[in-house]
Amino acid sequence: ENNFVNDTYRINYLNDHFLEIKKAVEIDRVPVLGYTMWGGIDLVSLSTGEMKKRYGWVYVDMDDKGNGSKKR
């Protein structure tokens, strides 16, 4: 709405993972070389066919039924 994506859940999800990676490096001395997400853009879940499960860095305007502009 208003050209703004309410994506706080994904931001929080990623932030929590980055904090855990940071702890693994600093506390447990895990030699982390990088972090890879499932995909660069949102994609349909292969197991459930849902679009609402957002995996990528880039939001795609589409719902579970294929409705939306499909714009990134």
Q: Return the higher-pLDDT residue of 2 and 66.
A: 66
Distance CA 11, CA 32 (A): 21
- Looking at residues 62-72, what average pLDDT do you find? 81
* Threshold 0.95, pTM exceeds: no
Q: What is the pLDDT of residue 27?
A: 98
Q: Provide the Cα torsion 69, 53, 42, 64; round to 10°.
A: -30
Instruction: Report pLDDT digits (tens) over 11-65.
Output: 888 899 999 999 999 999 999 999 887 666 666 666 677 777 666 777 778 787 8
